[in-house]
Amino acid sequence: MASPGLHSSALRRLSGLPLALWRVLASAELLLGAGALLCLCLLAMAALPALRPGVPQTLAPIATYPAWEALHPGAGWALRALMAALALACLVRLADGLLPMWQASGAAMPVLEVAGDAAEGERLWERVRTSLARQGYLLMSMPGGDEGRCALAVRPLAHRLAAASLYLGLLLLLAAGAALWRQGWVSVSSPLVLGEPVALGPPVALKVELQELQLLHEPEGGLRLAGAIIGLARPEGETSSLALVAGRVTHYAGRWISISKELPAARFAVLDAAQGDLELYPMVGSLPAALVQRVAFRAQEEYLLAAPDANLLIRATYVGDTELSCCLQVQALDGRDGALLGEAFVSEPTDLSIGDVTVRVVPERALILAFWRLPGLWLAALGALLALAGAVAHRSAKPRRMAAGIAHAPELGRWVVFIAAAGRERQSARLAALSAALRSDLEA
């Protein structure tokens, strides 16, 4: 009720602003609208490469990308705003469901008219209270008076918690998303070939070695990667083997590991007339000289290797139609003038003879691994379970609160029993069923 000092309609409207704002924030429309926009943004990010989170394909391997840096700036700010709006709506809905202080308002639904005096009104009110208690309602705020009685009928806290778990679950999901946004990262390894360990620095801090590739023969004759076995060594000295399945993510020591990409690779060696290995020097990069060099190729990528003892330069270019077919163009060039001494297109182990020297090329496959840190994943799983349970409870729950009372019409000598609820509960079929049950109790 407005205080006597508020005489103007403007002041009355001003005094009702907090309640109106609360009802807007607690409305199901705001919650559904923010949730729908968030889902649309996530679908757009999944469909449009420019907005898609994940590993930027243009950056070099052995790099770590925070989750929020992988988003387009505009998409990032839009997601922040939607998550904040959704979190605020969930908080208000949660408080609105758990705290029963709000007085139900809206059009009253007459239940029953009974003729009688004041004593009959007292008896009728007791029967209303008994009937509502039988249906699981607690009555609060019962003022007295000759003109009638009114009370706020609320469900017990346990029942309100069951329905409110929907919003608690959504809040946990949003908290998990915020944790992933701020603290999640994905780190990409350099290409791994069989038997060559690679040390990955922080935040991965592991030494990784590809121990075995598991290939499947396709009916049309090709090969498909089915999985791999990798060896992992932690800084404290603990070693282990881990089986990876293509297309799946595997958990290890607080990290998630997946096969990010399969690349064609090759092993090169140069043998002299006595079949002894000669040292090969990579012309690009920081790899040291070795008797055997392993390289991995991306589309149209080229490698240059030098064998000074044979005065030979080897150029290897990947020319396969797809990255899964290993077709290399290998050229042997004179180390002095660059003249072409020999050429071969290689798709299987091949020896290319150049005078007294043999260039041995063995096609292989290389893997790029992705290491993920996904904080809040278990929080998201708990939130999804709570939200699902809350959605089921919310659909089957009775109205969580309503105004119930009796009003006296002295000129007619009758008492009117009514119930009233606000928002969606006012049009709810469950409210009509509750009204019918109350009428049935009173008429019995």
Look at the chain and report how many structural domains it folds into: 2
My answer on whether 266 and 335 are in the same domain is yes
Token pair for residue 195? 């038997």
pLDDT over 60 at 399, yes or no: yes
- Does the residue 146 lie in any domain? no
Q: What mean pLDDT do residues 19-34 have?
A: 61
- Band of pLDDT at residue 9, cut at 50, 70 and 90: very low
- Does the residue 294 lie in any domain? yes
Q: What mean pLDDT do residues 64-69 have?
A: 57
Residues in the chain: 444
- Band of pLDDT at residue 30, cut at 50, 70 and 90: low
Token pair for residue 286? 């920081």
My answer on whether 285 and 162 are in the same domain is no
Token pair for residue 181? 């946004």
Q: What percent of the chain has a predicted confidence (pLDDT) above 70? A: 72
- Band of pLDDT at residue 44, cut at 50, 70 and 90: low
Query: On the CB side of 332, how many CA atoms lie within 13 Å of its CA?
Result: 23
Domain that holds residue 340: 198-373
Segment 202-243, tens digit of pLDDT: 888 888 988 888 877 666 656 678 889 999 988 887 888 899
Sign of CA dihedral 47, 48, 49, 54: negative
- Does the residue 131 lie in any domain? no
Sign of CA dihedral 33, 34, 38, 41: positive
Q: What mean pLDDT do residues 6-19 have?
A: 44
> Is the pTM value of this prediction over 0.75?
no
pLDDT in the model for residue 54: 43
pLDDT over 60 at 47, yes or no: no
My answer on whether 229 and 300 are in the same domain is yes
My answer on whether 46 and 163 are in the same domain is yes
Burial class of residue 21 (count of CB atoms within 10 Å of its CB; 0-12, 13-18, 19+) = exposed
- Does the residue 367 lie in any domain? yes
- Does the residue 140 lie in any domain? no
pLDDT in the model for residue 142: 56
Q: Between the CA atoms of 273, 275, 281 and 284, what dihedral angle is there, to the nearest 10 degrees? A: 100
- Band of pLDDT at residue 56, cut at 50, 70 and 90: very low
Q: What mean pLDDT do residues 257-273 have?
A: 86
Q: Choose the final residue of a domain: 111, 146, 181.
A: 181
pLDDT in the model for residue 36: 67
pLDDT over 70 at 285, yes or no: no
- Band of pLDDT at residue 356, cut at 50, 70 and 90: confident
Q: Choose the final residue of a domain: 125, 146, 181.
A: 181
Q: What mean pLDDT do residues 256-277 have?
A: 85
DSSP output for 42-65: HHHHHH-TTT--S--TTS-SSEEE
Name which residue leads in pLDDT, 342 or 71. 342
- Does the residue 280 lie in any domain? yes
Segment 166-209, tens digit of pLDDT: 888 888 888 888 887 778 777 888 888 887 788 887 888 888 98
Name which residue leads in pLDDT, 285 or 78. 78
pLDDT over 50 at 92, yes or no: yes
Segment 305-328, tens digit of pLDDT: 999 988 899 999 888 754 445 678
pLDDT in the model for residue 35: 65
Burial state string for 33-48 with b = 16 or more CB within 10 A and e = fewer than 16: ebbebbeebbeebeee
- Band of pLDDT at residue 148, cut at 50, 70 and 90: low
Question: For 404, left (φ over 0), alpha (ψ -120 to 50), or beta?
Answer: beta
- Residue 314, strand partner residues: 305, 332
My answer on whether 299 and 257 are in the same domain is yes
- Does the residue 319 lie in any domain? yes
Tell me the three state secondary structure of residue 306: strand
My answer on whether 211 and 326 are in the same domain is yes
Q: Which amino acid is at 417?
A: V
Question: Measured between alpha carbons, how far is 135 from 437 in angstroms, rounded to an integer?
Answer: 9
pLDDT in the model for residue 315: 92
pLDDT in the model for residue 71: 55
My answer on whether 273 and 368 are in the same domain is yes
Query: On the CB side of 199, how many CA atoms lie within 13 Å of its CA?
Result: 2
- Band of pLDDT at residue 393, cut at 50, 70 and 90: confident
- Does the residue 147 lie in any domain? no
Q: What mean pLDDT do residues 67-91 have?
A: 71
